[in-house]
Amino acid sequence: MDKMWAGRFTKALDKEADDFNSSLHFDCKMFRQDICGSIAHAQMLAKQGIITAGDCEEIIDGLSGILEDIENGKLTFDNEAEDIHMFIESELTARKGDVGKRLHTARSRNDQVAVDIRLYLRDEAEKVNDLIYTLIEAIRDKAEENQDAILPGYTHLQRAQPITFAHHLLAYAQMFMRDATRLKDAVRRMNYSPLGSCALSGTTYNTDRYFEAEKLGFYGIMGNSIDGVSDRDFCVELMSAFSIIMMHLSRFSEEIILWSSWEFKFVELDDSYTTGSSIMPQKKNPDMAELVRGKTGRVYGDLFALLTSLKGIPLAYNKDMQEDKEAIFDSIETVQKCLSIFAPMIATMTVLKDNMYSAAQKGFINATDLADYLVKKGMPFRTAYKIVGQTVAECIEKNKVLETLSLEEYKAHSELFEEDLFHEISLETCISTRISAGSTGYESVKKQIADVTEFINGKESIY
Ligand code: ARG
């Protein structure tokens, strides 16, 4: 097939070079957006008297037919074409003759691809947003069911203080809520139209870029035509947002993997989200969580691949920029898959409250509360801290815990200790007396659940 740009060449492109150059096998994903962009462009050309109304109708008819035929499988992508833009334009010309050749007036593939990818990412980001909300909902529901489940909260992976499982889960809800707002924020900056930037310098035709922008649902136009064709910040921003989502999913995965181990046994994943071993009959492996953790590296890699591709290229368009697509497509698809497997995995996970509770009982995790007990009786915190430290040391030596040390043994450390200390250091009291905002206290967790619900109810479109 002759290239559209064949005019100034005397020889055909080498076959291997042609394949190397072609992006159709991945940018064909953007066929809908390419056609949408072209329809808006044709309408603008007609409105401005650059093409006739009749030609515009013919072009739209041709493009709509192509869209229908691709969607129902009648038209398949011909690998001869260099990219999706060339493919659709040459198909239009094959169907409509000279009229089809008028479409590319006052436009270049450079602004065309910049429009297509924005429209594509806007659609796909909307799906990511929906998936994030579904996950937040699954987390909120699990939290609601587990407000009474007490487990050790950890720092340095050492038992630190008692918390409820609801409180722990709600920390993840906060992360994913930030992710949703981060995504929206990136899309808000992306949603400006580069169409009409043409190759780089604009055009001599009396175009109406605002009209096209509005037709395509952009907030406005990009203010500089050189930036219009060379900006890929939005890909980097989205991939950064995706990387952060993956980092959150990966931390969550790591905890689920730990919690499912025999050493913790805090949760049991549903059979439908675990796999067995080919040799060890007893195994039930958290493969989905491990894969999510593993795929995080891939999404970080996509971000770094594009950042590195962009760092040395001069203005304006350079073919290096074609490398944006495989990276961003891989990144967005990976995030979508991970989010969509995660929500049902959380929803179907069984929480083993008794195991959590017994882990919380053995680790001196109420030592802070014991120090606070002395402080409330008038002792300075540093002194109380030291006395409780010595008490813990005695327990370890005698193979006891704070609950099993006798009052006499306590009194040897301080006269301020009374019988009520045992009530004060019970796990339930440790939770119910946490009254600060955002804390693990029962009331605070109720409020956090209500806040997450309010966030879910306030969901709106990404742009
Ligand atoms: N396939 C190209 C890309 O993805 C489209 C733009 C090509 N422009 C050009 N002047 N070669 O970036």
Q: Taking a C-beta distance cutoff of 8 angstroms, is the pair 394, 375 a contact?
A: no
Taking CA atoms only, the protein residue closest to ligand 1 atom 2 is 322
Task: Map tokens 């890929």 to a residue.
Answer: 232
Q: Among the options 277, 358, 432, 461, which is catalytic?
A: 277
How far is Cα 170 from Cα 142, in angstroms, rounded to an integer? 9
How far is Cα 59 from Cα 36, in angstroms, rounded to an integer? 12
Taking CA atoms only, the protein residue closest to ligand 1 atom 4 is 322
Residue in 289, 294, 295 with CA at minimum distance from that of residue 256: 289
Residue 5 has pLDDT above 90, yes or no: no
Q: What are the pLDDT digits (tens) for 76-122?
A: 998 788 999 999 999 999 999 999 999 999 999 999 999 999 999 99
Q: What are the pLDDT digits (tens) for 270-317?
A: 988 888 877 777 778 999 999 999 999 999 999 999 999 999 999 999
* Ligand 1 centre distance from Cα of residue 4 (Å): 13
Q: Which domains does the chain have, with CATH numbers?
A: 6-105 (1.10.275.10), 115-148+163-202+230-358 (1.20.200.10), 362-457 (1.10.40.30)
Q: What are phi and psi of 275, to 5 degrees?
A: -130, 165
Residue in 458, 452, 463 with CA at minimum distance from that of residue 184: 463
Task: Map tokens 């060890």 to a residue.
Answer: 280
How far is Cα 349 from Cα 274, in angstroms, rounded to an integer? 11
pLDDT score for 1: 62
- Looking at every residue in the chain, the average pLDDT score rounds to 95
Q: What are the pLDDT digits (tens) for 242-275?
A: 999 999 999 999 999 999 999 999 999 998 888 8
In the chain, the percentage of residues whose pLDDT exceeds 70 is 100
Q: What are the DSSP E strand ranges found in 133-236?
A: 150-155, 158-164, 192-193, 220-221
Q: Which residues line ligand 1 (CB under 6 A)?
A: 23, 27, 83, 109-110, 113, 317, 319, 321-322
Q: Taking a C-beta distance cutoff of 8 angstroms, is the pair 332, 128 a contact?
A: yes
Q: Taking a C-beta distance cutoff of 8 angstroms, is the pair 127, 115 a contact?
A: no
Secondary structure (3-state) at 416: coil
- The one-letter amino acid code at 368 reads T
End-to-end Cα distance, the chain:
40
How far is Cα 370 from Cα 111, in angstroms, rounded to an integer? 67
Q: How many helices (H) and strands (E) does the chain have?
A: 20, 6
Active-site residue, 156 included: yes
